[in-house]
């Protein structure tokens, strides 16, 4: 019986199928099937009932599950206490929102590679709603998103927020009329978009033109070109303001700051993922003070 077989067994149990376990472990479905078959042959028992409802644990499988979880816990303890970080091999599936990708993500990747040189990082940039679903479906290991995620199975490391500010082109304009321009902001199906939309409609009526975008860098460029105004993170807009490409203005209100979290599933416990979340907090704190 090998550690890989135990990990595969637990993945199939937790994800309720070979397909999702294969995706989570970055293996093919036949490889998962072979590992389970070899484990059953080693133990000389059937661990799963295969049927139309998927793979269901047998009584022997239920018995093995308890021991497998204990074995997994001890393995994590050894990794945390004994193995040097630069000797840890692994695969981190990292999901981040675009605000993070446009700010301190490069610093996070650099720190992770410095601590875990053998770590393979798979990156996915998407809106927070999608990242939340991917995490709960175990399609990613660590999600840095608008959070925290209110689920009993999820651990959240709360990160520093991003203050929002209003931006317009630097060309002369009457600030009193700026709110009549199209408003560029976050993509649909995101919390910032919903909040901005509600506040705009409340103050100016439903005739306001909203241009949602999944690209914050595109929003800044469109503002620079005078094609609209935008409410976006101040830390990301600083470079554009400092170089005179755009300017801030104050309509008398702005949405609440964006709150982010580094979120991951509490089970199975992973020293590497927990460390990555703590590094994300350290990097975010450093960036927010810069």
Query: Measured in Å, how far apart are the chain's first and last C-alpha atoms?
Result: 51
Q: What is the pTM of this model?
A: 0.75
Residue 137 neighbours by CB distance under 10 Å = 12
Is residue 156 a contact partner of residue 149, using CB atoms and an 8 Å limit?
Answer: yes
Average pLDDT for runs of 10 along the chain of length 290: 85 85 85 90 87 81 86 72 56 92 94 88 92 92 94 94 93 72 89 91 88 90 92 92 92 91 89 92 91
Contacts 24+ apart (CB under 8 A), 243-248: 244/170, 245/170, 245/220, 246/167, 246/168, 246/169, 246/170, 246/220, 247/167, 247/168, 247/169, 247/170, 248/165, 248/166, 248/167
Dihedral-angle region of residue 17 (phi above 0 means left; psi in -120 to 50 means alpha; beta otherwise): left
Structural domains in the chain, sorted by start: 3-81 (1.10.10.10), 85-161+259-289 (3.40.190.10), 164-249 (3.40.190.10)
Q: How far is 44 from 136, CA to CA, in rounded Å?
A: 33
pLDDT number for residue 88:
54
Is residue 115 a contact partner of residue 227, using CB atoms and an 8 Å limit?
Answer: no
**Exposure on the CB side of residue 6, measured as CA atoms within 13 A:** 16
Q: pLDDT tens across 12-44, in order?
A: 888 888 888 888 888 898 999 899 998 888 888
Is residue 38 a contact partner of residue 46, using CB atoms and an 8 Å limit?
Answer: no
Sign of the dihedral through C-alpha 169, 171, 175, 179: negative
pLDDT number for residue 15:
82
């Amino acid at each position: 019986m090998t550690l890989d077989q135990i990990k595969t067994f637990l993945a199939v149990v937790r994800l309720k199928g070979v397909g999702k376990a294969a995706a989570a472990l970055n293996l093919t479905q036949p490889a998962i099937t072979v590992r389970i078959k070899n484990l059953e042959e080693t133990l000389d028992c059937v661990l799963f009932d295969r049927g139309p409802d998927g793979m269901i644990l047998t009584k022997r499988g239920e018995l093995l599950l308890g021991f497998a979880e204990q074995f997994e816990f001890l393995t994590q303890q050894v990794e945390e206490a004994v193995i040097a970080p630069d000797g840890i091999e692994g695969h981190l599936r990292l999901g981040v929102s675009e605000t993070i990708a446009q700010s301190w993500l490069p610093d996070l990747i650099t720190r992770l590679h410095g601590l875990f040189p053998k770590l393979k990082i798979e990156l996915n940039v998407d809106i927070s709603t999608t990242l939340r679903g991917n995490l709960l479906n175990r399609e990613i290991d660590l999600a840095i998103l608008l959070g925290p995620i209110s689920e009993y199975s999820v651990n959240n490391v709360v990160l520093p927020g991003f203050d929002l500010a209003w931006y317009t082109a630097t060309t002369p304009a009457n600030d009193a009329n700026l709110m009549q321009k199209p408003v560029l902001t976050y993509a649909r199906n995101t919390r910032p978009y919903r909040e901005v939309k509600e506040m705009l409609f409340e103050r100016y009526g439903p005739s306001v033109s909203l241009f949602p975008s999944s690209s914050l860098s595109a929003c800044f460029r469109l503002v620079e070109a005078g094609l609209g105004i935008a409410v976006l993170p101040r830390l990301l807009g600083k470079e554009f303001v400092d170089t005179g490409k755009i300017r801030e203005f104050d309509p008398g209100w702005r949405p609440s700051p964006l709150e982010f979290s580094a979120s991951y599933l509490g089970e199975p416990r992973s020293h590497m993922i927990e460390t990555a979340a703590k590094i994300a907090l350290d990097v975010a704190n450093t960036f927010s003070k810069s």
